[in-house]
Structure 1
Amino acid sequence: MTQYPPNFGCSEAKTPLRIAVVYSRVPVPMRRADQMTVAHLLEFLHERKHVVDLYTLETGAEMSPDDRAWVSARTRRLFLYPRRRVRAALALLSGVSRGLPLQVALFNSRTMRRDLKREILANQYDLVYVYYFRSAEVVRGLGRDLPSGSPGSSTATYIALQLSQTLNTRRISENAPNLAYRALYALESRLVARYETMIWREFTHSILIGKSDLATINEVAHDLGRPPVTNSFFSAHGTDIARFKPSLEPTIPHSIVFSGVMRTPTNVQAVQWFVREVFPLVREQIPDATFTIVGREPSTEVRALEAEPGVEVTGTVPDPAGYIARAEVCVNPMQAGGGMQNKLIEFLASGKPTVATSVANEGISAPDSAIAIADEPQAFAEQVVQLLSDTDQATQLGQAARKFVEDHWTWEAHFLDLERKLIERTLDPRDVGC
């Protein structure tokens, strides 16, 4: 059964905005972290009575009638563009010939850009909000294409870069399991570096999750002789603390859990590293320790890990929250990636003692009182063993983790902050009513 974002119970905004949301795939069903974020954003904007049009691609994960009804109820208009293989291949070839990153080329849509430009000229929007740089070409330079003084020429454009893809693709390349992957992501990393350090200039404002992502982009820009980002602000997102919460049901003794979409390269690399480098060290101390990898679409490499003693790969499950609730310890051994890790916030919100790498915690900045951080196999294993062995310490860490999420990582808190920044940066100060 499809899960949808919960009702936030928000009151109507004093200053409603007219917003075009541009996104690279349908937001429901929520199968990936970015889909989850956009779906929750649509729910929030709907409850706050903002007028929203959604421009998005149908890339294979088609919406069911219920999904379409949910989106339609939260938007004024849904502009949905089917993305078949031939059209995607042509877009990829066209983009590559222009030096675009592969992921940007793949999700570009000239038809979407044409329709969006038409609506901007009709003065339909206060702002255009592009989620992820994959959709940047749809909006890139639209302001220059509009006649000066024409209706819509003052429409603000926002690019939600979120994480630094330069940092993300570089780490994936460095930790790639084979030469082909390493070569592919090394190429993409170079293309992304050139693109990411200039695309922000095509928008009124750019949005990042945290300082490390901004610092990476600016370091690369310096190396390329380009100016640093000057139009950015920070805005993260949250988690559903009603769904991910401490449970009264008993945990499974000596159980360790990781969850995520298990065909995503960063997740594949994470569990491979844990199973090969860390888990054997844990089982030397706790022979009956188990490691459960929870998540849909496990790759062949992930499935192969079940051959190791104590490792289980579940594949798709109705709700990973139940597996997290029954775990004694959760782990996020990310070696690559950037921005914030939804899975890590879900572990913390569930009140679970959690061991993570510095990379995993980079965009969240959970304090030592709420999370155990380790980057080397021996240190990571020691932290896991300690939490599996010391109930009091594990309980204290889990309680502090839940408190940290309640204080800093609810959807409402981050979206209200984003809304305030959008209003302040889009409207004349005299028009701001909140």
Structure 2
Amino acid sequence: MGSILFLAHRMPFPPDRGDKIRGWHVLRHLARSHRVHLCAFADDRRDLRPRPELVEATASRTILWRGKGRTRAVAEALATRRPFSLTAFDAAAMRAAVRDVLAREPIEAIYVFSGQMAQYLPADTNARVVMDFVDMDSAKFAQYAGEATGPMRWLLAREARLLQAFEAKVAERADASLFVSEAEAALFRKATGAPRVRAIGNGIDTAFYDPSAAEPVCEARPLIVFTGQMDYRPNVEAVTWFAEAVLPQVRERHPGARFAIVGRAPAPTVRALAGQPGVLVTGEVPDVRGWLAAASVVVAPLRIARGVQNKVLEAMAMARPVVASSEAAEGIDHDGCLSVARAPTDFAHAISNLFADPAEASKIGARARTQVQRRYGWDAQLAPLDALLERQAA
């Protein structure tokens, strides 16, 4: 049993948001056949004390608080000509922690989860390096820049340019660079020309996300549900656009329709939506499955999305009919059991049709769950990791 150093930009347990879900399942998969030494940041005080599940899965853990503010990170980035995505996660204590693990443990492989942590790769190491970018973050900032104006446009374009150069440099060094979908991997290959790039998709725990395992927490019908981290910009923009452009059209045909925005840390813009007719903002909930079970329709109207959306897989696993933007549906092999919409009228029409025919909506949800069970088990998705982490034959 070899030893792996696992670098994560966010504590992977509990798996209660998209990046932590992938991080936890990858770590747990690696722990089955390796001793895993975790070095990670925490941005939630509750995560500073490792849960028993994480302790059991890891040989050692170093969890550091990440308290650097955005203003300081941007100032450091401008002063050092680096991307602020990196300066936000730059900490001397993390460098010391990584050096300590490498000095005391026979590390055979380093698994880097997210590009922000690639700055901690040692300059000289014989360990095999697997770089899990998950998404192409530089492309996301390029999208942001295209929608911004004034100084913010310049800052975001700068970030996209510098971050892409950094990503390409890291990929050149890594033994394998991973992305969550083939579309994302192809985009990275085209933009950087990097070698050894491949896709390893996200999975879903269909035993946990099982419609028989959760009771609906809301009796309101018809109910539209969106789930996600609600201080994350793409989610904020998605629910704002939906509440303002789509929901009024739906309520013209179905006056009793309600839109539940379910997720922790709602931004002020999101909280303000609760003042609109039919909008409910829950904040953090103990178990999102109850809201998914209550949903007549789940929506994912993201305009900026990278890779595979866990929220869509979770809703499909819960046998819910889903209406998603083309961006949110990208990379998901849904085999026709997912409605894809773009314009507000398209969203409103698809949702209204599902409301009008509950029996058909139920059939679509059942097909969605079957598709997820067949295609998106975590064991099947992560099986290629084992070969990637083996040393090349001597």
Task: Give the TM-score taking structure 1 as reference length.
Answer: 0.82
Residue type of the partner of 1:202? R
Residue type of the partner of 1:169? F
Residue type of the partner of 1:373? V
SS at match of 2:383: helix
* Residues 126 and 156, structure 1, Cα contact 8 Å, conserved in 2: yes
Partner of 1:346: 314
In 2, distance between residues paired with 1:295 and 1:115? Answer: 32
Identify the match of residue 118 of structure 2 among 124, 136, 139: 136
In 2, distance between residues paired with 1:194 and 1:428? Answer: 31
Counterpart check, 1:22 vs 2:4: no
Partner of 1:51: 35
**Structure 1 residues 89 and 290: alpha-carbon distance in aligned structure 2, compared to 1, 3 A threshold:** closer
In 1, distance between residues paired with 2:52 and 2:318? Answer: 31
Partner of 1:364: 332
Q: Which moved more, 1:332-341 or 1:16-25?
A: 16-25
Shift of residue 77 of structure 1? Answer: 1.4
Partner of 2:177: 206
In 2, distance between residues paired with 1:249 and 1:380? Answer: 27
* Residues 91 and 109, structure 1, Cα contact 8 Å, conserved in 2: no
* Residues 320 and 365, structure 2, Cα contact 8 Å, conserved in 1: yes
**Structure 1 residues 422 and 258: alpha-carbon distance in aligned structure 2, compared to 1, 3 A threshold:** same
Counterpart check, 1:383 vs 2:350: yes
Counterpart check, 1:78 vs 2:61: yes
In 1, distance between residues paired with 2:75 and 2:176? Answer: 29
Q: Residues 293-318 of structure 1: CA distance to partner in whole angstroms, max 9, x if unpaired?
A: 11111111011111221111111111
* Residues 39 and 97, structure 2, Cα contact 8 Å, conserved in 1: no
In 1, distance between residues paired with 2:13 and 2:223? Answer: 31
Counterpart check, 1:220 vs 2:204: no
Shift of residue 38 of structure 1? Answer: 1.8
**Structure 1 residues 335 and 180: alpha-carbon distance in aligned structure 2, compared to 1, 3 A threshold:** farther
Shift of residue 99 of structure 1? Answer: 2.8
SS at match of 2:36: strand
* Residues 207 and 235, structure 1, Cα contact 8 Å, conserved in 2: yes
Counterpart check, 1:241 vs 2:206: yes
Shift of residue 357 of structure 1? Answer: 0.7
SS at match of 2:117: helix
Q: Residues 405-429 of structure 1: CA distance to partner in whole angstroms, max 9, x if unpaired?
A: 1011122222223224333xx3428
Q: Which moved more, 1:113-122 or 1:274-283?
A: 113-122
Q: Percent identity?
A: 29
**Structure 1 residues 84 and 392: alpha-carbon distance in aligned structure 2, compared to 1, 3 A threshold:** closer
Q: Which moved more, 1:105-114 or 1:254-263?
A: 105-114
Partner of 2:165: 194
Q: Residues 168-193 of structure 1: CA distance to partner in whole angstroms, max 9, x if unpaired?
A: 223344456x8776565444333323
Partner of 2:253: 285
Q: Residues 42-90 of structure 1: CA distance to partner in whole angstroms, max 9, x if unpaired?
A: 33333x241110111244534364x35443322111123344448x987
**Structure 1 residues 304 and 85: alpha-carbon distance in aligned structure 2, compared to 1, 3 A threshold:** same
Shift of residue 132 of structure 1? Answer: 0.4
In 1, distance between residues paired with 2:316 and 2:265? Answer: 24
Q: 1:164-183 maps to which residues of 2 (within 5 A)?
A: 164-174=136-146
Q: Which runs of 5+ in 2 are unaligned?
A: none
In 2, distance between residues paired with 1:36 and 1:249? Answer: 22
Residue type of the partner of 1:207? L
CA RMSD of aligned residues (A): 2.6
In 2, distance between residues paired with 1:75 and 1:179? Answer: 47
**Structure 1 residues 324 and 175: alpha-carbon distance in aligned structure 2, compared to 1, 3 A threshold:** farther
**Structure 1 residues 377 and 82: alpha-carbon distance in aligned structure 2, compared to 1, 3 A threshold:** closer
In 2, distance between residues paired with 1:255 and 1:89? Answer: 39
Task: Give the TM-score taking structure 2 as reference length.
Answer: 0.90
Partner of 1:102: 84
* Residues 182 and 198, structure 2, Cα contact 8 Å, conserved in 1: no
Q: Residues 72-130 of structure 1: CA distance to partner in whole angstroms, max 9, x if unpaired?
A: 322111123344448x9877655443432212121123443354346446671221000
Partner of 1:406: 373
**Structure 1 residues 313 and 119: alpha-carbon distance in aligned structure 2, compared to 1, 3 A threshold:** closer
The alignment of Structure 1 onto Structure 2 pairs a total of residues equal to 391
SS at match of 1:343: helix
Counterpart check, 1:418 vs 2:389: no
Q: 1:3-14 maps to which residues of 2 (within 5 A)?
A: none
In 2, distance between residues paired with 1:62 and 1:202? Answer: 35
**Structure 1 residues 115 and 92: alpha-carbon distance in aligned structure 2, compared to 1, 3 A threshold:** farther
Residue type of the partner of 1:376? A
**Structure 1 residues 103 and 64: alpha-carbon distance in aligned structure 2, compared to 1, 3 A threshold:** closer
SS at match of 1:307: coil
Partner of 2:294: 326
Residue type of the partner of 1:246? P
In 1, distance between residues paired with 2:360 and 2:34? Answer: 45
SS at match of 1:100: coil
**Structure 1 residues 28 and 398: alpha-carbon distance in aligned structure 2, compared to 1, 3 A threshold:** same
Counterpart check, 1:257 vs 2:240: no
Q: Residues 2-56 of structure 1: CA distance to partner in whole angstroms, max 9, x if unpaired?
A: xxxxxxxxxxxxxx4321101112223444311222223333333x241110111
